Amino acid sequence: AQKITQTQPGMFVQEKEAVTLDCTYDTSDPSYGLFWYKQPSSGEMIFLIYQGSYDQQNATEGRYSLNFQKARKSANLVISASQLGDSAMYFCAMREVTSGTYKYIFGTGTRLKVLA
């Protein structure tokens, strides 16, 4: 069975600094996808970034980047130049493909607080 682990329940970062949110995963599938979602206090789930297991380069999307270390089975989210609006819950998720379709397995999340 696949598993996602986020070991940081909460993180603080000073505005304009970079922060890394950790995510490790466990799977026996050679083909998998890793996703990061942001959940503000309002509750919606916002897709941030994707990393495929066969991607040669680390994914980047604006201020978001993924530090993907396949051998260590980690896919850490890096947020550069933090902004107050980045304060939210962040979830790492893995795509699990089944015979019928696929689903996400989520980690427990990291609550990020950006300080002014």
Partner 1 sequence: EPEVTQTPSHQVTQMGQEVILRCVPISNHLYFYWYRQILGQKVEFLVSFYNNEISEKSEIFDDQFSVERPDGSNFTLKIRSTKLEDSAMYFCASSGQGARYSNQPQHFGDGTRLSIL
Residues found near partner 1 in the complex (CB under 8 A): 31, 33, 35, 37, 42-47, 50, 52, 91, 93, 95, 97-98, 100-109
**13 versus 33: smaller Cβ distance to partner 1:** 33
**13 versus 107: smaller Cβ distance to partner 1:** 107
Strands 110-115, 10-14: pairing is parallel
Smallest gap from Cβ 19 to partner 1, in A, equals 20
Closest to 13 measured CA to CA, from 78, 75, 68: 78
Structure tokens at 11: 């993180």
Closest to 109 measured CA to CA, from 45, 57, 14: 45
Smallest gap from Cβ 58 to partner 1, in A, equals 13
